[in-house]
Structure 1
Amino acid sequence: MKHIEELWRERFQAYMKELRRYLKYMFNDHLLFVLIFGGGAAIYYYSGWVKTLTSEFPVGIVIGFILGLVLTVSPISTFLRQADLVFLLPLETKLASYFKKGLGVSFIGQAYIILLILAACMPMYVQVTGSSFSMFFYMLLLAFGLKIWNLIIHWQMLKIRDSYVHVYDWIIRFIFNALLFYFFIEKASFWFFGVVLLIMAVFTIYVKEASKNKTIKWEVLIEKEEGRMQAFYHAANMFTDVPHLRGKVKRRKWLDPLFSLIPYGSEQTYLFLFARTILRTSEFSGLIVRLTLISILIIVFSGNLYLSIAISLLFLYLTGFQLFPILRKHELKIWTSLYPIKPSQKRIAFLRLLLQVLLVQAVMFGLFAFISTGLRNGMIVLLVSIAFSLLFAKIYAPGRIIKLEKVS
């Protein structure tokens, strides 16, 4: 058993070293200032919105839904690697302590997220129900207990290969989590709690019996661990180059007409390459789409001009900043060095594409601000966003590229 403990210690220490390696870039960069500014603006407007809530607001449904999602999503850290499929498979029966430690680390990491989200929900809860903030500790205990239960059930379900079963498991656990918090907030009868807890107990027994005598699905665990680390690398990639990052490439033939807009000629080589990189690689297209959708949702539901402007500028900056790694995306491929074109054309192509992406976002922000707050505010958001996009692409980005080239 000693070598199992040593294996865990080595894997965990390697993980923490990797975490610290990238976190120092993420929290030392000036982007942290932008995030703090954006977070401060969100807190300011959130507090103002909370003061407008009345007793008719469905706070139980809202908090139940939010915490239901947070509790149901329960990834498990195993620190497994591809080679473990060969070398650790014979030791499967002796790895119980290893995976228990993984569950423990997973709980601690997710407990911080629960703490933050529950703290964010408390002003809304107190405003609507009139209860005191001391209820926070009871709700936190309930959330921690449910998170432990979710992790245990999720671990057992990972032994079952059927993907449909995993979907049903996720839905069932979400319903249980949301219902218990809804009943708690609405101060429902003890019998409602009793019925839900009884069904949960039956479900737990069923899952335990269904996974009994089933072996660990190593491929699934390794795939999920790699996915978890890739998600972290995607975040770190916004601040520094991450060699471990692997984006999924998809053909996306339906987007081919967009490439016909690029003029034919050798001077457009990098523009064509970078455009295909963005549209076909989830590493970039996925992040751009997610940031755009999140910002649009906030703009639509905020109904406030100043918040819409702040969100537009923040997400334009985040989008522009995450595109810089494209410059080095194909750096290690020898055929890019064989292009008979000037090196400066690479920089020109990137700045042109960067501006085009930001302008498309700016137009979308202005359009949805118009839908949400009217023509005047929509035009203001549009003009401010376009001005910011031009400043970012024409002034900030060239200086940033020079800085990156010096580092490399």
Structure 2
Amino acid sequence: MFKAGAFWSRRFSEHMKETSRYLRYIFNGHLAAASIFFVSVAAYYYQQWLSELPENYPTAVIVGIAFGLIASYSPVRTLLKEPDLVFLMPAEHRLGEYFKRCLLYSYVVQLYLILVIGAALGPLYSTSYPGHDTSYYLMMLGVLLVVKVWNLLANWWMLKERNSRIRAVDSLLRTVLSVFIFYFLAKGDWVFAAIITVLLFGLMMYNYVLAKKKAGLAWDVLLQKDQSRMRTFYRIANNFTDVPHLKNTVKKRHWLVKLLTSAISYKQDRSYDYLYRITFVRSSDYLGMYLRLIVIGGLAVYFVTNLWVKVAFALLFLYLSAFQMMTLWNHHRTIAWLDLYPLKKAWQQRAITQWLLRLMLFQTFLFGLLFIIQWSPVGLIAVWVGGTLFSYLFINGYVKKKLV
């Protein structure tokens, strides 16, 4: 006899085994050290900034938006697979216990967002509203937990609706109402917060009534949502290790490909130079990750006040970019046609190291421009000289040892 609870335990065990394989690579020593440094520096400057916080700073708006988005973002992880559309759909009436556990699991794994954002905004709220003690802020977090449950249930009920526009409108309305609830709570306007809370509860119950009118679950929608979230996870993991079953999308980007490959001669020993450049540009992972790290690192370098911390941030993001781009080496590992051509391994190693070095030097140049804008000659020299030396040492001392 089919037992939904036992089936959930087996499916959950498989899911945890799959995700833990890649989490080990994501949370490696390199990322942990960089994260600790980043959080420590950010916490120091956050404290300094709070000591000079303006009186009319829009803290209520920030808290309302942050808490509202966390509450309304409540995806449901069903752990479904494609064969389930055939083998599980006839047993839908027996899967009540399975989907209850899915809802509970989805709620628990999202609590870390409340913990992180709540801890980050707590000092800001206490500084802006000294009249509200800690218990009031904890009460807001308690309300956030309840509102998130409502949004999770409403989202689950709306997953019976196949019309994506209706689901999008419902999600937008719940997001707006959630934001206004916490905006008025942050300001201490209980009456308006209570009115909007009633409206949100009414919208949730309306979703429940609509769901009851549906014949059954939209299994294809559930599977599509779950696969989309797993693809996002695999795409993140692919930045740290090779994910063979990840289906990458390819962008054309003709003008950028032409710009980066026009100087490459049509010689046999330059084949990998061409391959790695177009892979970097056309793949859905590398170019976007590289540009995001440049932007985030540039913002850190620009807004941090201490000169040597600026330089440290520049070198940190230079290292993070190079470390992420190293996965280019394994990008074509499973493609057999590369082994059919008479291309030497040394040409491949030279191509990847030279391309990584160019990327690091270009990023170093951009970080140096920020010191020119702020007119800091010492910082400019420190970043350009330090970044160049670090790039050469990292490529020749670390990357080449990993190219096996």
The answer on 1:226 being equivalent to 2:227 is: yes
* One-letter amino acid matched to 2:234: Y
Q: Distance in 1 between matches of 2:94 and 2:227?
A: 23
The answer on 1:314 being equivalent to 2:321 is: no
Q: Is the 8 A contact 1:291 1:319 kept in 2?
A: yes
- The alpha-carbon deviation at position 321 of structure 1 amounts to 1.1
| Within-5 A mapping of 1:69-84 | 69-84=69-84
> What is aligned with 2:205?
205
- The alpha-carbon deviation at position 179 of structure 1 amounts to 1.3
The answer on 1:179 being equivalent to 2:212 is: no
* One-letter amino acid matched to 1:231: T
The answer on 1:268 being equivalent to 2:270 is: yes
Q: How many residues align?
A: 400
Secondary structure, counterpart of 2:243 in structure 1: coil
Q: Is the 8 A contact 1:266 1:341 kept in 2?
A: yes
Q: Distance in 1 between matches of 2:81 and 2:103?
A: 17
Q: Is the 8 A contact 1:367 1:378 kept in 2?
A: no
Relative distance call for 1:280 and 1:183 in structure 2 (3 A) is same
Q: Is the 8 A contact 2:75 2:106 kept in 1?
A: yes
Q: Distance in 2 between matches of 1:113 and 1:381?
A: 37
- The alpha-carbon deviation at position 114 of structure 1 amounts to 0.8
* One-letter amino acid matched to 2:350: I
- The alpha-carbon deviation at position 253 of structure 1 amounts to 2.9
| Within-5 A mapping of 1:326-345 | 326-345=328-347
- The alpha-carbon deviation at position 369 of structure 1 amounts to 5.2
Deviations for 1:240-281, whole angstroms, at most 9, x for unmatched residues? 333333322222334332222333221111121111222111
> What is aligned with 1:358?
360
Deviations for 1:343-370, whole angstroms, at most 9, x for unmatched residues? 1111111111112222333333333455
Relative distance call for 1:365 and 1:170 in structure 2 (3 A) is farther
> What is aligned with 2:217?
216
Q: Distance in 2 between matches of 1:341 and 1:271?
A: 12
Q: Tell me which moved more, 236-245 or 108-117.
A: 236-245
Q: Which runs of 5+ in 2 are unaligned?
A: none
> What is aligned with 1:282?
284
Q: Distance in 2 between matches of 1:320 and 1:395?
A: 13
> What is aligned with 1:57?
57
* One-letter amino acid matched to 1:170: S
- The alpha-carbon deviation at position 302 of structure 1 amounts to 4.4
* One-letter amino acid matched to 1:37: F
Q: Is the 8 A contact 1:365 1:381 kept in 2?
A: no
RMSD: 2.4
Q: Distance in 2 between matches of 1:374 and 1:166?
A: 51
Q: Which runs of 5+ in 1 are unaligned?
A: none
- The alpha-carbon deviation at position 377 of structure 1 amounts to 7.2
> What is aligned with 1:292?
294
> What is aligned with 1:31?
31
- The alpha-carbon deviation at position 299 of structure 1 amounts to 4.0
Q: Distance in 1 between matches of 2:217 and 2:288?
A: 31
> What is aligned with 2:105?
105
Deviations for 1:294-331, whole angstroms, at most 9, x for unmatched residues? 33344455465444433332222222111222212212
> What is aligned with 2:157?
156
Q: Is the 8 A contact 1:292 1:361 kept in 2?
A: yes
* One-letter amino acid matched to 2:391: S
* One-letter amino acid matched to 1:177: S
* One-letter amino acid matched to 1:93: H
Q: Distance in 1 between matches of 2:71 and 2:391?
A: 38
> What is aligned with 1:390?
392
- The alpha-carbon deviation at position 18 of structure 1 amounts to 2.1
TM-score, normalization: structure 2? 0.90
Q: Is the 8 A contact 1:370 1:377 kept in 2?
A: no
- The alpha-carbon deviation at position 374 of structure 1 amounts to 4.0
The answer on 1:243 being equivalent to 2:277 is: no
Relative distance call for 1:4 and 1:119 in structure 2 (3 A) is same
Relative distance call for 1:302 and 1:172 in structure 2 (3 A) is farther
Q: Is the 8 A contact 2:85 2:220 kept in 1?
A: yes
Q: Is the 8 A contact 2:280 2:287 kept in 1?
A: yes
Q: Distance in 1 between matches of 2:284 and 2:155?
A: 27
- The alpha-carbon deviation at position 104 of structure 1 amounts to 0.7
* One-letter amino acid matched to 2:133: S
> What is aligned with 2:40?
40
Relative distance call for 1:377 and 1:227 in structure 2 (3 A) is farther
- The alpha-carbon deviation at position 67 of structure 1 amounts to 2.2
Relative distance call for 1:41 and 1:102 in structure 2 (3 A) is same
- The alpha-carbon deviation at position 56 of structure 1 amounts to 1.7
- The alpha-carbon deviation at position 81 of structure 1 amounts to 1.0
Q: Is the 8 A contact 1:251 1:280 kept in 2?
A: yes
Q: Distance in 1 between matches of 2:45 and 2:149?
A: 34
Deviations for 1:144-192, whole angstroms, at most 9, x for unmatched residues? 112111211222222223333333233222222221211111111x220
* One-letter amino acid matched to 2:176: I
Relative distance call for 1:286 and 1:157 in structure 2 (3 A) is farther
Q: Which residue of 341, 347, 362 corresponds with 2:349?
A: 347
Q: Tell me which moved more, 150-159 or 235-244.
A: 235-244
Q: Distance in 2 between matches of 1:377 and 1:197?
A: 55
Q: Distance in 1 between matches of 2:81 and 2:326?
A: 29
Q: Distance in 1 between matches of 2:338 and 2:10?
A: 39
* One-letter amino acid matched to 2:335: K
